């Protein structure tokens, strides 16, 4: 049930004291008038700009969290004085129920980023390298670099897909093979059968290696044959699947994600977790989000509509936007992506950073239709100007 403006103010004033909270909201003018409205409706009405910047840089959900998650957060403050043992257990169980697995198959983390870092720390070593595509989501690469663990980074193929053969060829002797499906930042994806064929090859070529399938953008992916590797991970101890509450569930700022694997694999990962790393408040939002099938469907339909509009608009302007199965698109900008990013920001649009070795591409997240209708003329205007500062 969406919480009303009255209930939002009631809770907020109870939390911080009516005398300070209400004048603060009034002083904020526009923002105050949104207090208590459903975040999705607010986003659709164009109410989420921060300091006038359209944020298309971090593949966040532009529609905000669900109102169920917000209600759960507000209620959970009552137990904020307690360490999050009960909420950890509740979150683990809610995730297990959502996926039809046992609690022992679930590792929770402060974002799925924590589970990626943990897997890298636990399974790579000075003699067991990381295999991760170039480019892919950098978290495991960053962790391995910091720990001075060796890395093999096969380049993506000509269509910007993970080069699965090259990844399998790089796997002998590895500790962890990171498979981002769909891949950030290229937006490409593989059907489950191809992923499982890779798993099979790695298992045979490198029996000690673990394979981590990152499904952060799972709910956005409409590639025929695409599916989750979770069922395979339950019986194959080498396999781990990671998921996040940051994308379709709109909780990037709350920090909740998880991995699903065989119970023995989860046991090997668990000691690397930061104890009490997922707050009770975050867990409440995530638990409420485990039961949001209609919300997820609506979000993915909205994303697809705006994504198609964005692809068409960019392509019609004569620039190549690559097909994508996510909430972001990769555009060939033909110039230094960092310079281009700066030029866009100077005109009020934040887009993604550079992703080496791609040196002429920019990643642009899919916002709301209203955001894209405002942002694209700016972005394309800079591109057409031919100069990054145009
Ligand atoms: C592919 C991929 N995996 C994992 C993450 C990390 O997400 P979080 O730590 O917010 O769960 C991201 C974030 O953008 C991502 O793109």
Instruction: For the chain, give every domain's residue range.
Output: 74-289, 293-385
Ligand 1 centroid – CA 257 distance (Å)? 9
Give the mutation target among 57, 188, 213, 216 for probing the ligand 1 site: most ligand atoms within 8 A of CB: 216
Q: Whose CA is nearest to atom 3 of ligand 1?
A: 216
- What mean pLDDT value characterizes the chain? 89
pLDDT in tens, 368-377: 999 999 999 9
14 has pLDDT over 90: no
First vs last C-alpha separation in the chain: 47
Minimum mean pLDDT range among 7-16, 90-99, 109-118, 338-347: 7-16
25 has pLDDT over 70: no
pLDDT class of 79 with cuts at 50, 70, 90: confident
Q: 218 CB under 6 A from ligand 1?
A: no
For range 306-315, the mean pLDDT: 97
- Give the nearest ligand 1 atom to 114 CA: 9
Give the mutation target among 136, 242, 247, 250 for probing the ligand 1 site: most ligand atoms within 8 A of CB: 247
pLDDT class of 146 with cuts at 50, 70, 90: very high
Q: 244 CB under 6 A from ligand 1?
A: yes
- The reported pLDDT for the residue numbered 283 is 97
CATH value of 293-385 in 3.40.50.360, 1.10.10.10, 3.90.1150.10, 3.10.50.30: 3.90.1150.10
Task: Return the structure tokens found at 224.
Answer: 């025929």
Angle between helices 280-289 and 85-99 (to 10 degrees): 20
pLDDT class of 17 with cuts at 50, 70, 90: very low
CATH value of 74-289 in 3.40.50.300, 3.40.640.10, 3.90.1150.10, 3.40.50.720: 3.40.640.10
Ligand 1 centroid – CA 60 distance (Å)? 10
Angstrom distances, CA of residue 317 to CA of 78, 291, 334, 341, 376: 53, 41, 14, 19, 10
Q: 329 CB under 6 A from ligand 1?
A: no
Q: Is the pTM of the predicted complex or chain greater than 0.85?
A: yes
Q: How far is CA 363 from the centre of its chain?
A: 14
325 burial type by CB count under 10 A (0-12 exposed, 13-18 middle, 19+ buried): buried
Q: 327 CB under 6 A from ligand 1?
A: no
- The reported pLDDT for the residue numbered 43 is 65
- The reported pLDDT for the residue numbered 387 is 45
- The reported pLDDT for the residue numbered 22 is 31
pLDDT class of 385 with cuts at 50, 70, 90: confident
pLDDT in tens, 204-249: 999 999 999 999 999 999 999 999 999 999 999 999 999 999 999 9
179 has pLDDT over 80: yes
Q: 180 CB under 6 A from ligand 1?
A: yes
Helix (H) or strand (E) run with residue 345 in it: helix 337-346
Residues recorded for the chain: 390
């Amino acid at each position: 049930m969406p919480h009303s403006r009255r209930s939002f103010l009631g809770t907020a004033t109870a939390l911080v004291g009516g005398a300070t909270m209400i004048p603060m909201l009034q002083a904020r003018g526009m923002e105050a008038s949104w207090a208590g409205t459903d975040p999705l409706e607010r986003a659709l009405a164009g109410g989420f700009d921060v300091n006038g910047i359209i944020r298309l840089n971090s593949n966040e959900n532009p529609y905000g969290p669900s109102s169920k998650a917000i209600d759960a957060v507000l209620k959970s403050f009552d137990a904020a004085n307690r360490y999050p043992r009960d909420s950890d257990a509740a979150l683990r169980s809610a995730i297990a129920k959502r996926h039809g697995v046992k609690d022992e198959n679930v590792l929770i983390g402060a974002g799925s980023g924590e589970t990626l870092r943990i897997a890298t720390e636990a399974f790579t070593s000075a003699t067991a390298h990381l295999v991760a595509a170039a480019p892919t989501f950098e978290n495991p690469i960053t962790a391995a670099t910091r720990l001075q663990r060796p890395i093999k980074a096969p380049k993506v193929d000509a269509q910007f897909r993970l080069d699965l053969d090259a990844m399998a060829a790089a796997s002998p002797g590895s500790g962890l093979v990171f498979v981002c499906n769909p891949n950030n930042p290229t937006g490409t994806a593989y059907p489950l059968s191809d992923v499982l064929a890779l798993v099979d090859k790695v298992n045979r070529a490198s029996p000690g290696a673990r394979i981590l399938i990152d499904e952060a953008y799972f709910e956005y992916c409409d590639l025929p044959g695409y599916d989750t590797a979770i069922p395979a991970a339950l019986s194959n101890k080498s396999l781990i699947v990671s998921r996040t509450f940051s994308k379709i569930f709109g909780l990037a700022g709350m920090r909740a994600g998880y991995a699903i694997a065989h119970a023995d694999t989860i046991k090997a990962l668990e000691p690397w977790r930061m104890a009490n790393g997922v707050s009770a408040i975050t867990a409440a939002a995530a638990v409420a989000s485990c039961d949001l099938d209609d919300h997820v469907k609506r979000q993915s339909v909205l994303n697809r509509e705006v994504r198609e509009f964005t692809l068409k608009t960019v392509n019609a302007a004569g620039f190549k936007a690559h097909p994508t199965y996510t909430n972001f698109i990769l555009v060939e900008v033909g110039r230094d992506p960092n310079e281009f990013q700066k030029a866009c920001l100077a005109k009020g649009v934040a887009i993604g950073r550079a992703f080496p070795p791609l040196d002429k591409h920019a990643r642009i997240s899919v916002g709301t239709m209203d955001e894209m209708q405002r942002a694209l003329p700016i972005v394309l205007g800079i591109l057409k100007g031919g100069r990054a500062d145009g």
